[in-house]
Amino acid sequence: MRKLKQSTARNVMVLMVSSADHVAGVAGAALTIAASKNGAAFASISPTVTDRGNGWYSLALTASHTDTLGDLALHVTATGADPSDMVLLVEGGSLDVDTSIIAKVLRNKLVTDPSTGLMTLYDDDGTTPLFTAQLYKDVAGTTTYNGTGAERRERLA
């Protein structure tokens, strides 16, 4: 299943094949497109359609087409062509993950100051602070951590 980022424009390719032989691509067709967002009723949409040849068409979905999380089902029809259906998954947040930060969190030096209860994550050089967080003994966050347990973790190799 193809994934799309919520409220982001994206080109999607669709193949339209002949309803006569169910094999040959249909060129120069006028496409009619209906979409269902997250299981809602199908409604007509009008993305820009570009004939790419051999029965292939590019549908330029806009941010308004991809604004709802969940399945985006497309039903595409054209005279002389079999219908074409596809389901795309619209996901929230960024699909681009900064793996360098994740690696730093997992591998770099982490020091907890038992006198202040402050935890500090350092950059690759081991001296530049990247993130800090206050630690607490209790779930409510009212009693500051006082040094019981491990206070340091070195970079994982």
Lowest mean pLDDT among 17-21, 26-30, 83-87, 153-157: 153-157
First to last CA, the chain: 36
The answer as to CATH 2.60.40.10 being correct for domain 2-91 is: yes
**pLDDT for the residue numbered 47:** 97
Q: Which helix (H) or strand (E) holds 108?
A: none
Taking residues 91-112, what's their average pLDDT? 80
Ordered by start, the domain boundaries in the chain are 2-91, 99-153
The amino acid present at 57, given as its one-letter code, is Y
**pLDDT for the residue numbered 148:** 72
Burial degree of 108 (CB within 10 A; 0-12, 13-18, 19+): buried
Cβ-based neighbours of 100, under 8 Å, separated by 6 or more = none
Is the pLDDT score of 27 beyond 70? yes
Is the pLDDT score of 150 beyond 80? no
Count Cβ atoms below 10 Å from residue 31 Cβ, excluding itself.
19
Burial degree of 119 (CB within 10 A; 0-12, 13-18, 19+): middle
CA-closest candidate to residue 67, choices 98, 91, 40, 100:
91
The string of pLDDT tens digits covering residues 42-66 is 999 999 999 999 999 999 999 999 9
Residue 55 backbone zone (phi > 0: left; psi -120 to 50: alpha; other: beta):
left
